[in-house]
Structure 1
Amino acid sequence: MLLFLSLLFLSFPLSALSLNQEGLFLQRVKLGLFDPTRALSNWNERDETPCNWVGITCDKETRRVDSVDLSDSFLSGPFPTFLCRLPSVTFISLYNNSINSSLPVDFSPCRNLEYLDLGQNLLVGSISESLADLPNLRYLSLAGNNLTGEIPVKFGEFRRLKTLLLAGNFLNGTIPSELSNISTLENLLIAYNPFTPSPLPIRLANLTNLKALWLADCKLIGPIPAILGHLTRLENLDLSQNSLTGSIPTLLTKLKSVVQIELYNNSLSGMLPVGFSNLTKLRRFDASMNELTGTIPNELCQLELESLNLFENSLEGTLPDSIAKSPNLYELKLFNNKLTGQLPSELGQNSLLKSLDVSYNGFSGEIPNNLCAKGELEDIILIYNSFSGKIPESLGKCHSLGRARLRNNQLSGTVPEEFWGLPRVYLVELVGNSLSGQVSRRISSAYNLSVLLISDNKLSGNIPMEIGFLGNLVEFSASNNLFTGPIPGSLVNLNVLSSLVLNGNELSGEFPTEIQGWKSLNELNLANNKLSGPIPDEIGNLPVLNYLDLSGNYFSGKIPPALQKLKLNLLNLSNNMLSGELPPLFAREIYKKSFGGNPGLCNGLEGLCPKMGESRKLRYLWLLRSIFILAGLVFVVGVVWFYFKYRNFNKGKKGITISKWRSFHKLGFSEFEITDCLKEDNVIGTGASGKVYKVVLSNGETVAVKKLRGESKQEDASANYDKDEFEVEVETLGRIRHKNIVRLWCCCNTGDCKLLVYEYMPNGSLGDLLHGSKGGLLDWPTRYKIALDAAEGLSYLHHDCVPPIVHRDVKSNNILLDGEFGARIADFGVAKAVQGINKGTESMSVIAGSCGYLAPEYAYTVRVNEKSDIYSFGVVILELVTGRLPIDPEFGEKDLVKWVYTTLDQKGVDHVIDPNLDSSFQDEICRVLNVGLKCTSSLPVSRPSMRRVVNMLQEASVESKLKSNKKDGKLSPYYHEKACDDVGND
């Protein structure tokens, strides 16, 4: 018996003998939470007290637990109510975990709490009003959860609360004016909640201790209450992304302590108020994306600003000289306004100016000489103004410069020699000026240069061979200048070169040899020069060449047969001295213009051969031709008779009338081959409008055939279109020539059967590949390439087609991928040609598109334009970045766009990016994600044009490689310093 009792004693848990009561409560907390990373592994029940456990702090004298900090511990489960059993605990933080329950109804056991942070979790349900009963609570954060309902009116009864954070939830109702009763409140941050549209409560001006008021995207309407100017301790005022109207109150200039004012993306109007000189501590002011008019007050420009952003308004007038006296100004953005006059000569002399963008204004005069006086200037963007004079010599010494965009001004004189060799510059854009002189050989020092655009100037001399040493050069455009001499042989070393445009110069000599290194070359334009010699066979081996223009030169010899291997959208060898037979593929009527003006070429194409002068030869040819014509007529009549007999015989067997076939490109196959291969075994896809077949032709080529349903009028919304989808797609694709638009080879329409024959895309659609079992094939460089290719295709539709074309059904399933994962836009069944697209007067009046991709304006109007395509393309970018479907049950009632915005606000960018992507590309991914967020702006006017989207995507790749992370200068309590932390802040 004694032995039995001894064994029973030994088997009793030691915790029951050693761990104190507080430790037992915490053990209950541990048991109630899922701890996948074993963050609580040292919570050992054999200890006497929990004071040495992770996240636990005890009072030094009483040895009682007074703080529990389990932030960022990857814990999940319900809210651990046993924490409130700790009698002396004053601090509880479960920030950034996955606590997924509703809040306790009764918080009275936590009576001693002073600090409670449950932010960035998955809390649901309503906010417990019992929190207001905690008499000592000073800090309360429930931000970044899924809380619903209204802010409890009882919150106005807090006695000592200093910070209230409720941002980033799903709270509705209105902002209760009772919050103005919390006289101790210093920080009120309740932004990004879907409140009922209502004015900003005037009574909030009673919070005289308030330092931060963050009400961004709270559905605020009406004017900004002038009485907010009485908040003399306010340091951060953010009312951005609302629907506020009226003018900016002059009383706001009484905020003597304010450091940052954010009013962007509202509907504010009128002029900027006078009195900014009172705001001596102001460092950042952002009133962009409003409807402001007038000029910038001089006193605003005398402040110690870090950033002044007034872009995309309707500002008029001149820029005051006093702006140059701001000692902390590092970012000046005034683009897309109506400002005139000269830039202040002292601009950059008194501050560490890093970025200057005054594009699309009417500025004139010379470029200030002091812009890089402090050696910090990284971006200078002055495009589309009327600047004149020379490029300042000082810019040639600006080694920090990364982007120099000076196109479409009136600049003249020679470019400073040192400017060509800036070591960090990756984009030089001097197009459309009157610059003269030579390109310096010092350009070899610009080893980061990726884009060199110097077309439409008066530059002369030889193109220096040193350009061939720039291993990062992707685009080189120097057309319409006065360059002479040969094309430098060193250019063949540029293995990432995508575009080489040198037309309209006086270049001479032969074509460079050994061009096998141009594996990425997409466009080659050497037209209208004085080049001679043969066209090298190696051109036919360039794998991605789409545009080839060698016209207007002195090239001689035969046309290389290897050119037939190219898949060209443009071929122009006209007006040279070529001779001999045309290669068989080019001996077609559609290529006549490609070879005109070459007297030695002849292959039966009328108008291409020289006329015979002798009358005897003409009579002989006429007789011979007549004989052939007569024989041909007899033959044709016989064939036609036989055909009709055969058609009547075979009518039940074949439903396709071959005479209905129309071709739009060179065809190396017979139409009969197509019809014979439309078998169920060849079906590769089925959609609402019909089936898609894969057809392998006798010549080894593969095509895709879309067979539409026989009825041209379907029992759906498409019955209301002016033309059925078949005619729309034929009419649209038949006239499009672009490397990123799927090619329509030919079509057939008999009424009973409608066929569209496309080039075959071996990797299928982006949607199928990205969201299917082969999604792992798409690493980030491939995804980026797809995004850029698709953007260029849409940009062509919107900006280069006459009239412009709105696709109206942009989605990942309508982006097809070739063997090299090059992207092509497809499926134009609901596309529309738009007259006056920029005016919006011819916008669409029939809803088209796919669920998850529809722009929000469809909810309140059916009159949409190209901005809807841009929104849909933004969804595609989000798909590429997140790897998620546009509609997913996991999102609940949200779509991908709302999920991304919510997750960014609540959890950060790491929870948005597809975890399968290599983290080494994170900087570039974040930049592309920002482009997607801009495209999916809820306001159509805020979405960039597709041409701008292409530029931003190109810059995203270049900047991520060549620029270091930098602060964006925001001073609010929610700003970050890393590049990815800027996602969504623009």
Structure 2
Amino acid sequence: MATIRQRLLLAFLLLQLLAIAASSSDARYLIAARSALRDPSGALAGWSGGSDRGSPCRWARVSCAKNSTAAVAGLDLSKLFLGGGFPAALCSLRSLERLDLSANEFVGPLPACLAALPVLAHLNLAGNNFSGEVPPEWGAGFRSLLVLNLVQNLLSGEFPAFLTNLTALQEFSLAYNLFLPSPLPEKLGDLADLRVLFVANSSLNGIIPSSIGKLKNLVNLDISRNNIHGEIPQSIGNLSSLEQIELFANQLTGSIPVGFGGLKRLRSLDISMNGLTGEIPEDMFAVPMLASVHMYQNNLSGRVPETLGAAPSLSDLRIFGNQLSGPLPPEFGKNCPLQFLDISNNLLSGPIPATLCASRKLKQLMLLDNEFEGAIPVELGQCRTLTRVRLSNNRLSGSVPPEFWGLPGVYLLELRGNALSGTVDPAIAGAQNLSKLLLQDNRFTGALPAKLGTLPNLQEFKASNNCFSGPLPPSLANLSLLDNLDLSHNSFSGEIPRDFGRLKKLSQLYLSDNHLSGNVPPELGEIIEMNTLDLSNNELSGQVPAQLQDLRLTHFNISYNKLSGTLPVLFSGIQYQECFLGNPGLCHGFCQSNGNSDAKRHTIIKLVVYIFVAAGIILLLGLYWFHYKCRLYKISAAELDDGKSSWVLTSYHRVDFSEREIVNSLDESNVIGQGGSGKVYKAIVGPQGEAMAVKKLWPIGVASKRIDTFETEVATLSKVRHKNIVKLACSITNTVCRLLVYEYMPNGSLGDILHSAKRSILDWPMRYKIAISAAEGLSYLHHDCKPPIVHRDVKSNNILLDAEYGAKVADFGVAKTIGDGPATMSIIAGSCGYIAPEYAYTLHVTEKSDIYSFGVVMLELVTGKKPMAPEIGEMDLVTWVSATIEQNGLESVLEQTIAEQFKDEMCKVLKVALMCVSNLPVTRPPMRAVVTMLLEVKEEKKPKPKVAPLAI
């Protein structure tokens, strides 16, 4: 017995020793892996041989097998800002079952050694910057792998069809990578246990193989955003476990196969943005759990199936942009929790079903651009959940139900382009969330209710081309956020309320073609945001107020009224000659007084007074200018005392000019710009008369110019060399003044041209060239500078254009070098509309912050709009683009004046921009990938079959 006990004790001790040895071994591998990583946040600082007697099982992010304190079974290192290459030491963890490195900054190739881990079942490397091809060794290893997730990396080469050899796989996710055009593997059907197939945006082409019908356990099928063509295979109807189908944004054709009705677990179907034709199958809406159906932007035709009226679970239906016709089922909405309905841009007719909001859950109702007729159902006036209503361009008639006017949650009410009649009911006072009220092109009558003035959020009110009458409600002056007011082509009478001058945010005012009388209120001249004023074709009288000269109007028309008297001086110019037509009482210069000597005398006296006042002002200005020039001369003389001895010139490139030439050019007549850091002058210097840009920084300590950029700008630009980064030639300093001398960019900034009357210069090929040039400059800063440089103020005004409209990134006054991780700033740098969300919240700056800002610049290039502009309301450009695309598709946001010939290219650049402005930094592509994708926009048109198309 003693011998048996001794043997058992010996065996137990041996096992313990083996466990300790294994534990110690795994601990050593983890420590080696940690030392090979960048860990800026110190998340793995607790990994050390001295903690927990060398056992790693209680270390952060480490787990061991059940009933074991020895071997490491799981590592969850996701979202820790880790960087560097894959740590090869992890391949020595022989008991590793789960490895999650997702949402970090890993780079370099995928490790082939992982395939040799005998029990690895879950591998998640998503959201990194791994590049190169998937190792072919992976197709022969991974005997236990169940989950493979490589989503959102920079993987390239052929799509790894060999991974279908891993027949135990349950999740196969390779979406959002840069593979070459490749077909879907025919052997997909061999993955009998597969539950998730996620290969969106992977440059896949060819057809969907019919073998996909073998995947009886498949729950999630996502092949969206590829170049798949052909028909949807009938065999998909055999996948009885499917809950989600995502096939949108491909090139699928043919009809929707019958059989979806047999997918009893299906909850979400998205086959939008393809070329599908034919009718929607009758069994489509018979699926008991189907909640979301997106079939928009296809070529579907025929009637909507009657089964739609009985759909039990449907909450989201989007079938806009097709050719569907006929009426909707009369009981649609009665049996389902409908929340979102967009069936716009079809040929649908008949009445609007009264049951759409029977569940009291409907939030968004878009029926525009159809042929619906009859009245707006009274029942919709009880739908208190509605937030967005668009019924424009139909054949609706009759009065709008009173309760419908006052829906409390609606922010957009669009009824334009119908035959609606009756009045705007005072119940509209209940619509306290209303931001846009669009009633134009109807048959509304009567006076506008004073209650309109109680809507605190109203920004846009358009009611042109109706039959409204009576006076303009003075209460409209209470709408402090009103930006656009269009009441033209009605029968309004009486005077324009003087209180309209309180509408300080009003940029567009259209009151033409009414019966307005009385004087033009001079208070309108106090609305400094006004850029459009149209009061033409009324019965206005009196003089043109001189205060209107203070407005910066791009559109001004006051023609065909009964105005009289002398025009204000500014309006006498030739550019205004068509703004005052049809006012015979108006005259330029001084009006004839028809023999009235008192009037003549009064006019002469006024003229003499004006002349003396003007002469006095000119004299004072002359004296001030003389004093200023003398003072400037004295300062310059003091600064130049002893010639070069008082200045220090530090050159960073070869220069052919002296500091004296630069300093002598600092004259106010040479100023070409001014910003938060100083004034910029143009200087012609050197033997060849070369133009240079000279930035004279504000003196240190000037209170109103708080940002001192000299040190940062010099430190950054003195060491960078790239054709798309503005060149700093030299700096010139003395004890009181600091000058930075740059290469001169004759075409100014992108923002100045793009958002001015000169925008027509920038056609699409030129804008595309600018986008690539600027992207290459930023890519150099992020990837080729050691350590990387983050610009922190990327915007269109900081992208300068040379004589050939080549782009160069400029203004590095707030740039920051970053080392092993995100840098934390004490204040936010950047410009409104360009700042990445996470930067504003956390003050952590990384390259991803610049990528977001550059995405906004690309949105400016394709839309022609500013990041913050009156025409997009309170939203910034990113929000406006996202909301508009969701409603009307990609092409709806393009600048239409240049989009006709280059629509495809602009859409592809728009897709790249949308990736860059993702709310999640980890999903934004690095600048090197942005450059690649932008180049591929043009490369696709070249006859080179090996070039990958743009993958978004």
The TM-score range, normalised by the shorter chain, is 0.5 to 0.7
1:286 aligns with 2:270: yes
State the Cα distance separating 1:38 from its structure 2 match.
Answer: 4.9
Going from structure 1 to structure 2, the CA distance change for 1:684 and 1:375 (only over 3 Å counts) comes to: farther
1:393 aligns with 2:356: no
Equivalence map 1:329-408=2 (5 Å):
329-408=314-393
Matching residue of 2:108: 125
Equivalence map 1:535-934=2 (5 Å):
535-603=520-588, 680-681=665-666, 693=672, 813-816=749-752, 824-825=755-756, 827-828=758-759, 830-831=761-762, 849-852=769-772, 913=836, 915-917=838-840
Q: Per-residue CA shift, 1:815-835, capped at 9, x if unaligned?
A: 239xxxxx9336447446xxx
What one-letter code is carried by the residue in structure 1 that aligns with 2:513?
A: N
Going from structure 1 to structure 2, the CA distance change for 1:461 and 1:319 (only over 3 Å counts) comes to: same
1:390–1:415 CA contact under 8 A, matched in 2: yes
Q: Per-residue CA shift, 1:799-818, capped at 9, x if unaligned?
A: xxxxxxxxxx9x9932239x
1:931–1:953 CA contact under 8 A, matched in 2: no
Going from structure 1 to structure 2, the CA distance change for 1:106 and 1:203 (only over 3 Å counts) comes to: farther
What one-letter code is carried by the residue in structure 2 that aligns with 1:913?
A: A
Distance 2:578 2:102 in 1: 68
Matching residue within 237, 243, 247 for 1:253: 237
Distance 2:859 2:314 in 1: 31
Going from structure 1 to structure 2, the CA distance change for 1:929 and 1:464 (only over 3 Å counts) comes to: farther
Matching residue of 1:659: none
Distance 1:368 1:133 in 2: 62
State the Cα distance separating 1:325 from its structure 2 match.
Answer: 2.1
Matching residue of 1:443: 428
Going from structure 1 to structure 2, the CA distance change for 1:284 and 1:57 (only over 3 Å counts) comes to: closer
Going from structure 1 to structure 2, the CA distance change for 1:26 and 1:930 (only over 3 Å counts) comes to: closer
Matching residue of 1:178: 162
What one-letter code is carried by the residue in structure 2 that aligns with 1:395?
A: L
Going from structure 1 to structure 2, the CA distance change for 1:134 and 1:22 (only over 3 Å counts) comes to: closer
Matching residue of 1:143: 126
Distance 2:430 2:280 in 1: 40
Matching residue of 2:76: 93
Matching residue within 230, 237, 257 for 2:221: 237
What one-letter code is carried by the residue in structure 1 that aligns with 2:97?
A: E
Query: Structure 1: any 5+ residue segments left out of the alignment?
Result: 1-18, 66-87, 615-678, 686-691, 696-702, 709-768, 777-808, 818-822, 833-843, 857-875, 890-910, 969-978
> Could you say what secondary structure the match of 2:563 adopts?
strand
State the Cα distance separating 1:425 from its structure 2 match.
Answer: 0.4
Matching residue of 1:313: 298
What one-letter code is carried by the residue in structure 2 that aligns with 1:465?
A: A
Distance 1:148 1:931 in 2: 23
Going from structure 1 to structure 2, the CA distance change for 1:603 and 1:112 (only over 3 Å counts) comes to: closer
Distance 2:246 2:333 in 1: 24
Going from structure 1 to structure 2, the CA distance change for 1:953 and 1:536 (only over 3 Å counts) comes to: closer
Matching residue of 2:618: none
Which deviates more from structure 2 when the two are superposed, residues 50-59 or residues 441-450? 50-59
Distance 1:282 1:812 in 2: 56
What one-letter code is carried by the residue in structure 2 that aligns with 1:232?
A: K
Going from structure 1 to structure 2, the CA distance change for 1:452 and 1:932 (only over 3 Å counts) comes to: farther
Matching residue of 2:913: none
Distance 1:146 1:164 in 2: 16
Point out which structure has higher relative CO (alpha carbons under 8 A, 6+ apart). 2
2:867–2:878 CA contact under 8 A, matched in 1: no
> Could you say what secondary structure the match of 1:335 adopts?
coil
State the Cα distance separating 1:586 from its structure 2 match.
Answer: 2.0
Distance 1:882 1:115 in 2: 48
Q: Per-residue CA shift, 1:743-786, capped at 9, x if unaligned?
A: xxxxxxxxxxxxxxxxxxxxxxxxxx9x9959x9xxxxxxxxxx
Query: Structure 2: any 5+ residue segments left out of the alignment?
Result: 1-22, 596-663, 685-704, 713-744, 777-790, 801-806, 811-833, 888-917, 925-950
State the Cα distance separating 1:410 from its structure 2 match.
Answer: 0.8
Going from structure 1 to structure 2, the CA distance change for 1:505 and 1:237 (only over 3 Å counts) comes to: same
State the Cα distance separating 1:171 from its structure 2 match.
Answer: 2.2
> Could you say what secondary structure the match of 1:816 adopts?
helix
> Could you say what secondary structure the match of 1:515 adopts?
helix
Matching residue within 171, 180, 193 for 1:196: 180
Going from structure 1 to structure 2, the CA distance change for 1:32 and 1:220 (only over 3 Å counts) comes to: closer
State the Cα distance separating 1:604 from its structure 2 match.
Answer: 6.1
1:426–1:958 CA contact under 8 A, matched in 2: no
State the Cα distance separating 1:55 from its structure 2 match.
Answer: 3.6
2:837–2:919 CA contact under 8 A, matched in 1: no
1:22–1:49 CA contact under 8 A, matched in 2: no
What one-letter code is carried by the residue in structure 1 that aligns with 2:241?
A: S
Distance 2:298 2:793 in 1: 28
Distance 2:119 2:556 in 1: 79
1:428 aligns with 2:413: yes
Distance 1:439 1:381 in 2: 21
1:342–1:364 CA contact under 8 A, matched in 2: yes
Cα RMSD of the aligned pairs, angstroms, is: 4.9
Matching residue of 1:738: none
Matching residue of 1:730: none
2:148–2:171 CA contact under 8 A, matched in 1: yes
Distance 2:751 2:440 in 1: 33
1:527 aligns with 2:450: no
Tell me the TM-score normalised to structure 2 length. 0.65
What one-letter code is carried by the residue in structure 2 that aligns with 1:815?
A: G
1:830–1:848 CA contact under 8 A, matched in 2: no
Q: Per-residue CA shift, 1:336-394, capped at 9, x if unaligned?
A: 11111112222211211111111111111111111111111111111111111001111
Going from structure 1 to structure 2, the CA distance change for 1:538 and 1:918 (only over 3 Å counts) comes to: farther
Going from structure 1 to structure 2, the CA distance change for 1:531 and 1:680 (only over 3 Å counts) comes to: same
Distance 2:582 2:107 in 1: 75
What one-letter code is carried by the residue in structure 1 that aligns with 2:128?
A: N
State the Cα distance separating 1:317 from its structure 2 match.
Answer: 1.7
1:931–1:949 CA contact under 8 A, matched in 2: no
1:241–1:264 CA contact under 8 A, matched in 2: yes
What one-letter code is carried by the residue in structure 2 that aligns with 1:434?
A: A
1:883–1:914 CA contact under 8 A, matched in 2: no
State the Cα distance separating 1:34 from its structure 2 match.
Answer: 5.9
Which deviates more from structure 2 when the two are superposed, residues 393-402 or residues 561-570? 561-570
Going from structure 1 to structure 2, the CA distance change for 1:252 and 1:877 (only over 3 Å counts) comes to: farther
Matching residue within 267, 271, 276 for 2:255: 271
State the Cα distance separating 1:590 from its structure 2 match.
Answer: 4.0
Distance 2:104 2:582 in 1: 72
Equivalence map 1:213-224=2 (5 Å):
213-224=197-208
Q: Per-residue CA shift, 1:58-84, capped at 9, x if unaligned?
A: 67855x25xxxxxxxxxxxxxxxxxxx
Distance 1:256 1:812 in 2: 61
State the Cα distance separating 1:306 from its structure 2 match.
Answer: 1.7
Equivalence map 1:476-487=2 (5 Å):
476-487=461-472
State the Cα distance separating 1:182 from its structure 2 match.
Answer: 2.1
Matching residue within 181, 186, 195 for 1:211: 195
Equivalence map 1:27-66=2 (5 Å):
36-39=40-43, 45=50, 48=53, 53-57=59-63, 64-65=69-70
What one-letter code is carried by the residue in structure 1 that aligns with 2:174?
A: I
Going from structure 1 to structure 2, the CA distance change for 1:951 and 1:474 (only over 3 Å counts) comes to: closer
State the Cα distance separating 1:550 from its structure 2 match.
Answer: 1.6
1:106–1:128 CA contact under 8 A, matched in 2: no
Going from structure 1 to structure 2, the CA distance change for 1:855 and 1:338 (only over 3 Å counts) comes to: farther
What one-letter code is carried by the residue in structure 1 that aligns with 2:150?
A: L
> Could you say what secondary structure the match of 2:755 adopts?
strand
Matching residue within 116, 120, 144 for 1:160: 144
